[in-house]
Amino acid sequence: MLLPAAALNVINAPSVALTGRPLIGNGTPGGAGTGAAGAPGGWLLGDGGAGGSGANGVPGGPGGAAGLLGSGGTGGAGGVGATGVGRAGGQGGNGGLFFGNAGAGGAGAVGADGNGGGGGAGGTGGIFGGGGVGGTGAMADLATPNVLGGAGGSGGASGALSGLVGAGGGTGGVGGAGHIGGAGGAGGAAGIAGSLFGGGAGTIGGSVVGAGGAGGDGGASLGGIGGSGGSGGAGGQFAGAGGSGGAGGSVLVPVMGSSGGLGGGGGTAGLWGSGGSGGAGGAAGAPIAASAPGGQGGLGGNATLFGSGGAGGTGGFSASSTGGTGGHGGIGGALLGDGGPGGTGAEGAPNLGSGNGGIGGSARLIGNGGNGGNAGNATMVSLLGGPGTIGSGGILLGLNGIPGLPMSPNLLVNGSFEIATPSPSGTSSVTYPGWSVSGTPTIIEYGTPRVSYVLGVSFPFPDLPSFLGFPQTSPPGAGANFGGGGPVATSSISQTVDLSGASAKINTGTTPYTLSGLLGGALIDPSSTSLQVTFLNSSGAVLGTGSTTSVSALDRLGITGFQPRSVSGTIPVGTTQAVVTATFNDSNPITNHYNNAYADNLSFTVGAPGLTPAALTVPTSNVGQLEHVFLIMMENHGFTDIVGSVNAPYINSLLATYGSGDNVYANSHPSAPNYFRILGGSDFGLTYNPNPPSINAPSLMQEMDGAGISWANYAQSMPYPGALVSTGEYSTFQIPAAQYSYVYNNTVAYQQQHLLPLTQLATDLQNSSTTPRFSWIVANNANDMEGPVESPLGILNFAGSQLTSHQYNIAAGDQFLQQQVSLIQSSNTWNANESNAIIITWDEDYNNLGLGIGNQGNHVPLIVIPNQYAVTSGGMLSGQFVTHEYYDQYSVMSTIEYALSPTAGVPFTTLTFNDMYAKPMNGFWTP
């Protein structure tokens, strides 16, 4: 129950008169822009007031302390240095003496032309309270050489008995970015009875029982050396593990880079407990004047009496020299405990050596020595770094460690996505040669311009400035392309690696692995990539997993780009294969949901140098030959809009009668580029519905002409054959063949032969010889399921459907399909002794306005209808079934190329890597 103000005044009056401080009540915060201290909270109960932020050139004020019960106030943010250095943030206030968490330190401020201000230290917790978080160091002036980002503030110590309620020392602040990165902050020690399972970040322990915390990460460098990671805190004096060291800062601007920061050392354990792991070294960019190795991994912390030494940190990648050396493993406890394993060396620049593995820590009296760290990956065996030497076993009892191993080459096929046809717009998903995919991931060339908006109008929107666009330059060690999440939703890529050739070695239980990659994102979009390996036995059972950490927007400091991530471990006994998966997690808060999660240079190596990656091969096809293929393209409805819809009774009857796919995706928005890619193997950089001609590139039409394969585009409401001007319900984007200059600039007679009104189809179907072998069939705007939108009423109906169940025009499209499918199935051509098939699909889901409305990740329906001859003689499956294989519009293109080929099992043409490596629609034929 809250006490009324009058009653509080009576209670507090004596205390205020004697001490100037109330008995109960929160302290008054310092004024904004004053740098004034926050007032303390009440002697008995009350939080300390927050420190005031500093004006220009003024440090932030300290937070007020709590009394017996309450939390300390947050330190004020430092003031901007109008000239010179930025000012430091204020220290957080102490928590209540008996119970209460300490306040966080204030953030440092940016210096106009000097170093960034340091983050304020976190306050000390009460007896049962946690220490305050250290403030973040400020970013320094990036244009001034040799200035440092502000150091992260130290975390506050936790209270004496804080571990009993799960509290710990405060986390050290992250160092600020600068020409030289700021050091990661030291965090607070665990309390006297601190948690046995993890304390706050920090460099110095001091508790009797408790774990030291992890050191703060070093600041990123924009041109100089990355900041060193903070050392992990020592464990409690009696018992407790040491904290992990922070990661060294990486260089974010490769052309200005220098060496990566050193990983922080792991904390020393108490009398009972294990030493902390060393932090990873920072990555080094391309230097201006001299080569620079990656940062060295941090040393593993030593155990004291009973416990194991900490693992050495992983070395940092280098773009211009050898990779960083792995950190030394910590020494085991004096009486009992294993030595820590050495850290893994890092990959170096192409044609330069990888980092050496770290030395394993030794045991002392009883315990096994630590294993030596593995050498980093390299392009050639001769460039492999040396494996780490072993730690010695205990004098009284214990085995020596296992030496580090040279690693295999990268076992991932096309791990850097250089074999691909990237999306010229960056807004369309593409084929990933060598990988299996889900959703709509893409591959983009570095430097690709980024359009400001994608919409189905006849003109393009302008490109964004380069700093708001896709990554412009490749990071150290990368090639021309990178992978991304794609246009609409979460997606993933995966690859299975055969490890059966190393089964004997794996079954010794000592074979290491390393999974690594460059992971990144764009600006402040929180979308990020996760990287995981899953180990399976010969029966497919999961034996274990390993995962890297992701790269958050905070890790990147809101800068578009990449950072290295890796994980190492031992392959479980019994493993015969490993599945590597990169998941592009879409967390974009903007409703059109472009997935800005990125990845590059994915690598999976194991301690078996004799293994080599599989060869890149095109997917197997069991698509049979067809005499006629009818492709009917509908508009703008996703899978759940159609399947089960009461407005589509005919379509759902087809789904109940014939084969369909439930894992089928359109590749982008808007409509027209989805048409273009089936006929040309690319989006050609088009992010709108252009007027013809818009593409000067090879096409299926040109290739079919060369192979003697007849074809036609049939468009409803086309006024006459060869019409190249939109009118009424007829739009030229319904005849995508005309977008290609090969067709558009051909003769009038040629256009009249291939670009036809839909009314011509009935005549052509009377005889198999007059029916084109490939027919593209499209409804007009009133029947294609998108429109009509030419009249005010149509526009209102379309707008209203955006807010309801997205059923606009489905009934009209359902009737159109019934008319066309019935026409084809009743024709002489369909019933001749020839294999024919109808393919029905949709160009995109309902999110065609790019507003996130009806966004199903471009998941669309697909129905395939064979005639009886295709079933009995052509190997097609009959009856109702659903295939769960992944297909997209390049799969449709590939299927056409195989089905119309004069040679079974060989496509009559391939135009890009997209159709060459797309999975054909095998699920509609017998295996």
* CATH number for the domain that contains residue 853: 3.40.720
Count of CB atoms within 10 A of residue 69's CB? 22
Beta carbons of 168 and 140 less than 8 angstroms apart: no
- Using DSSP's 3-state secondary structure scheme, residue 517 falls into strand
Burial 322-346 (b: 16+ CB within 10 A, else e): bbbbbbbbbbbbbbbbbbbbbbbbb
Last-in-domain residue among 58, 83, 113: 113
First CA to last CA across the chain, in angstroms? 74
Residue 231 covered by a domain: no
- Using DSSP's 3-state secondary structure scheme, residue 193 falls into strand
pLDDT of residue 208: 46
**Domain shared by 452 and 571, yes or no:** yes
Q: At what angle do helices 700-707 and 671-680 cross, to 10 degrees?
A: 30
Residue with tokens 């309270």: 129
Structure tokens that stand for 917 in this block: 């490596």
**Domain shared by 537 and 449, yes or no:** yes
How does DSSP classify residue 422? -
Residue 192 covered by a domain: no
Structure tokens that stand for 837 in this block: 């098939």
Burial of residue 240 (CB within 10 Å: 0-12, 13-18, 19+) is buried
- Using DSSP's 3-state secondary structure scheme, residue 780 falls into coil
**Domain shared by 798 and 733, yes or no:** yes
Q: How far apart are the C-alpha atoms of 734 and 816, rounded to whole Å? A: 15
Residue 236 covered by a domain: no
Instruction: Give, in order, the Cα–Cα distances in Å from 495 to each of 117, 350, 550, 897.
Output: 46, 24, 19, 26
Strand residue runs (E) in 244-393: none
pTM beyond 0.75: no
- Using DSSP's 3-state secondary structure scheme, residue 686 falls into coil
**Domain shared by 348 and 461, yes or no:** no
**Domain shared by 444 and 498, yes or no:** yes
CA–CA–CA angle 195, 312, 415 (5° rounding): 110
Among 68, 34, 78, residue whose Cα is nearest residue 48: 68
Q: How far apart are the C-alpha atoms of 743 and 728, rounded to whole Å? A: 23
Q: At what angle do helices 671-680 and 889-899 cross, to 10 degrees?
A: 30
Count of CB atoms within 10 A of residue 859's CB? 21
Q: Max alpha carbon distance in the chain (Å)?
A: 108
Q: How far apart are the C-alpha atoms of 704 and 698, rounded to whole Å? A: 11
Mark out the alpha helices in 826-888 (DSSP H runs): 868-872
Last-in-domain residue among 63, 97, 113: 113
Last-in-domain residue among 89, 113, 137: 113
Beta carbons of 482 and 598 less than 8 angstroms apart: yes
Structure tokens that stand for 483 in this block: 């992978």
Structure tokens that stand for 659 in this block: 């084969």
- Using DSSP's 3-state secondary structure scheme, residue 24 falls into strand
**Domain shared by 634 and 577, yes or no:** no
Mark out the alpha helices in 565-699 (DSSP H runs): 639-642, 649-655, 671-680
How does DSSP classify residue 803? T
Q: Give the dihedral of Cα atoms 711, 713, 714, 719; nearest 10 deg.
A: -120
Residue 487 covered by a domain: yes
**Domain shared by 588 and 685, yes or no:** no
pLDDT of residue 711: 99
Instruction: Give, in order, the Cα–Cα distances in Å from 418 to each of 37, 283, 443.
Output: 57, 22, 9
Averaged over successive runs of 10 residues, the pLDDT of the chain (927 residues) comes to 66 83 87 90 87 86 87 83 73 79 74 67 69 68 62 65 51 57 51 32 37 58 60 59 63 51 65 64 53 70 73 70 75 78 73 74 77 68 65 73 76 97 95 97 96 82 91 88 92 98 94 92 94 97 96 89 88 98 90 84 92 96 98 91 95 98 92 88 91 95 97 97 92 92 98 98 97 97 78 63 68 96 98 96 74 74 98 97 98 98 95 98 97
Residue with tokens 């409703």: 591
Burial of residue 55 (CB within 10 Å: 0-12, 13-18, 19+) is middle
Q: How far apart are the C-alpha atoms of 738 and 658, rounded to whole Å? A: 32
Instruction: Give the count of domains, the chain.
Output: 4
Beta carbons of 152 and 216 less than 8 angstroms apart: yes
Q: How far apart are the C-alpha atoms of 731 and 719, rounded to whole Å? A: 11
Residue 430 covered by a domain: no
Beta carbons of 216 and 173 less than 8 angstroms apart: yes
**Residues 6 or more apart from 653 whose CB is under 8 A from it?**
none
pLDDT of residue 891: 98
Count of CB atoms within 10 A of residue 882's CB? 11
**Domain shared by 546 and 577, yes or no:** yes
Instruction: Give, in order, the Cα–Cα distances in Å from 916 to each of 422, 621, 645, 750.
Output: 13, 11, 35, 28
Residue 637 covered by a domain: yes
In DSSP terms, which residues pair with 547 in a beta bridge?
532
pLDDT of residue 881: 98
Q: How far apart are the C-alpha atoms of 90 and 78, rounded to whole Å? A: 7
Question: What is the side-by-side strand order in the sheet with 542-547?
Answer: 436-438, 491-498, 577-585, 528-536, 542-547
Instruction: Give, in order, the Cα–Cα distances in Å from 128 to each of 97, 345, 425, 720, 769.
Output: 8, 42, 56, 85, 88
**β-strand 436-438 against 491-498: which pairing, if any?**
antiparallel
Residue 72 covered by a domain: yes
Q: How far apart are the C-alpha atoms of 217 and 731, rounded to whole Å? A: 58
Q: How far apart are the C-alpha atoms of 359 and 786, rounded to whole Å? A: 65
Q: How far apart are the C-alpha atoms of 243 and 301, rounded to whole Å? A: 8
Total residues belonging to the chain: 927
Among 541, 564, 532, residue whose Cα is nearest residue 551: 564
In DSSP terms, which residues pair with 517 in a beta bridge?
565
**Domain shared by 501 and 388, yes or no:** no
CATH code of 490's domain: 2.60.120.260
Among 390, 415, 312, 308, residue whose Cα is nearest residue 355: 312
**Domain shared by 381 and 449, yes or no:** no
Beta carbons of 881 and 655 less than 8 angstroms apart: no
- Using DSSP's 3-state secondary structure scheme, residue 545 falls into strand
Residue 794 covered by a domain: yes
**Domain shared by 445 and 327, yes or no:** no
Structure tokens that stand for 854 in this block: 């009806």
Among 413, 417, 349, residue whose Cα is nearest residue 377: 349
Q: Whole domain around residue 400: which residue ranges? A: 293-304+322-407
Q: Give the dihedral of Cα atoms 766, 768, 771, 773; nearest 10 deg.
A: 160
**Domain shared by 478 and 335, yes or no:** no
Instruction: Give, in order, the Cα–Cα distances in Å from 341 to each of 80, 169, 241, 368, 564.
Output: 45, 27, 16, 10, 21
Q: At what angle do helices 889-899 and 700-707 cross, to 10 degrees?
A: 10
Structure tokens that stand for 330 in this block: 């910590």
Burial of residue 10 (CB within 10 Å: 0-12, 13-18, 19+) is exposed
